[in-house]
């Protein structure tokens, strides 16, 4: 019996995943519990195990973005053929997978200027192709049913893919060749192409420039690409979509205030001398101050759903951790019920697991409020973007030297820390947000209360 292998849904917010790696070749005999493939989402990268014995056949290639519940492969008995009997990476394979699994996925759009037929391409792929000057007609799509997706366009541009030239010119030009021709004032239609299908490549333009009477020789640096195209795929693409959706769907407003943290600096110095590296960090003090402030200001610990503001009883704090390929936000659960030492131990564990790529999905979901810090990178203040479905996020800057005037009009040195609170103005007005921020500031200016659990 043929059993479909589907993209798992690893959490309530997961909609799709990227198949980043197949551990076995298509047609390989596998056993239940063995590693089948790796997937990547905006939150986690993980290994997926096969759930039965049989022969595993791929239905999608590595790099494919697949919706939760959609087929990525087939598990067959010995001698049994999968519903898709052709190579999954071929046009026939893509058509067959689409017909067998999701016949409605690809909407066929008319290709601009293509009177001979219709070209399968996503709206985003068309937009990117227009921006980068890539000819869609020269591409082979890797999406469902052979549809051209944005990744196809970006890869073609990065590889020097074909760019359509104006009517009356000869065939096609690569992007680099077109840019150089424009800089040198060469008519693209006057250049004979030596590339595949008569395509004009960079060397053709250079040769044309050298043959033109009175034209200066082309400098060596003009052979280099003008820019590098980095495809926005995988985790980076998902983060980009979510941040854009956050700004699009919320009425975001940022409030800033400075906390005088002389006492906090002295207290932490003393803790470092006593406890060494195990001493709580400044971010731990901020997290605990936020957790306790949320008790007094529950409207900041909320979400908007079904046209109503839902106040959340539990206080689970998300802590943004920067990685080489993006950002993850592990969650400190019940942060308001922890002591400073317990909270510091948990944040250290989560940060280490995040950088090692060992966070599980439970550690990445359920934050009711988030904190992000750029203080270690020398940033004083910034405007953090609210992490949906939260209604607020706190940004933390660096501790810096500052001057404060006394009541007798004399300058005094102080250590200052800027706090930047971004709110969803649909759920929170400025005054209650300011009051919450003042509570956090007050706690950081009297840090012994946090240490004592007051």
SS3 for 92?
A: helix
Specify whether 316 is catalytic: no
Q: How many CA atoms lie within 13 A of 110 on its CB side?
A: 5
Dihedral of the alpha carbons of 340, 345, 349, 351, in degrees to the nearest 10: 40
Token representation of residue 421: 């609170």
Token representation of residue 333: 């659960």
Count of helices and strands (H, E) across the chain:
11, 20
Specify whether 429 is catalytic: yes
Sign of CA dihedral 198, 203, 205, 207: negative
d(CA 441, CA 188): 63
Query: Catalytic residue among 203, 227, 429, 448, which?
Result: 429
E-assigned strands of 23-112?
28-30, 35-40, 45-49, 54-58, 65-67, 71-76
Q: Which helix (H) or strand (E) holds 290?
A: helix 282-296
Measured in degrees and rounded to the nearest 5, phi and psi for residue 416 equal -120, 145
Angle at 398 between CA 248 and CA 327, to 5 degrees: 45
Alpha helices per DSSP H over 328-429: 340-355
Short-list 192, 95, 202, 79, CA closest to 143 = 95
For residue 121, the 8-state DSSP code is B
Token representation of residue 72: 């990525």
Contacts of 312 by beta carbon, 8 Å cutoff, 6+ apart: 298, 301, 302, 303, 368
Query: Catalytic residue among 23, 109, 258, 425, which?
Result: 425
Query: Which residue numbers are catalytic?
Result: 425, 429
């Amino acid at each position: 019996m043929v059993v479909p292998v589907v993209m798992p849904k690893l959490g309530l917010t997961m909609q799709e995943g990227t198949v980043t790696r197949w551990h076995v070749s298509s047609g390989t005999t596998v056993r239940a519990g063995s590693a089948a493939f790796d997937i990547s989402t905006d939150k986690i990268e993980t290994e997926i195990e096969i759930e039965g014995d049989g022969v595993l056949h791929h239905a999608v290639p590595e790099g494919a973005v697949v919706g939760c519940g959609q087929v990525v492969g087939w598990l067959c008995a010995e001698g049994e053929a999968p519903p898709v009997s052709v190579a999954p990476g071929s046009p026939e394979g893509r058509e067959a997978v689409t017909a067998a699994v999701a016949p409605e996925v690809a909407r066929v759009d008319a290709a601009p200027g293509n009177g001979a037929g219709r070209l399968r391409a996503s709206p985003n792929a068309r937009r990117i192709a227009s921006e980068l000057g890539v000819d869609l007609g020269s591409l082979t799509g890797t999406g469902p049913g052979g549809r051209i997706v944005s990744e196809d366009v970006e890869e073609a541009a990065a590889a020097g893919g074909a760019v359509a030239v104006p009517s009356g010119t000869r065939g096609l030009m690569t992007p680099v060749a077109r840019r150089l021709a424009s800089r040198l004032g060469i008519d693209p239609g006057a250049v004979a192409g030596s590339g595949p299908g008569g395509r004009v490549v960079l060397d053709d333009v250079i040769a044309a420039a050298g043959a033109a009477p009175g034209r200066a020789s082309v400098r060596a640096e003009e052979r280099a690409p003008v820019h590098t195209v980095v495809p926005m795929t995988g985790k980076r693409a998902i983060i980009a979509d979510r941040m854009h959706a956050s700004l699009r769907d919320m009425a975001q407003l940022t409030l800033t205030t400075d906390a005088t943290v002389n006492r906090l600096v002295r207290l932490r110095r003393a803790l470092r001398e006593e406890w060494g590296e195990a001493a709580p960090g400044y971010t731990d003090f901020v997290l605990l101050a936020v957790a306790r402030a949320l008790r007094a200001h529950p409207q900041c610990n909320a979400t908007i759903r079904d046209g109503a503001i839902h106040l959340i009883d539990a206080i689970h704090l998300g802590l943004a951790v920067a990685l080489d390929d993006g950002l993850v936000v592990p969650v400190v659960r019940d942060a308001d019920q922890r002591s400073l030492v317990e909270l510091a131990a948990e944040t250290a564990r989560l940060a280490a697991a995040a950088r090692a790529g060992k966070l599980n999905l439970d550690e990445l979901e359920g934050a009711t409020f988030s904190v992000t810090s750029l203080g270690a990178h020398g940033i004083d203040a910034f405007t953090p973007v609210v992490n949906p479905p939260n209604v607020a996020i706190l940004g933390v800057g660096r501790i810096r030297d500052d001057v404060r005037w006394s009541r007798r009009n004399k300058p005094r040195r102080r250590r200052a820390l800027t706090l930047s609170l971004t709110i969803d103005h649909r759920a929170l007005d400025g005054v209650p947000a300011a009051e919450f921020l003042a509570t956090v500031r007050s706690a950081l200016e009297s840090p012994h209360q946090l240490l004592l659990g007051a």
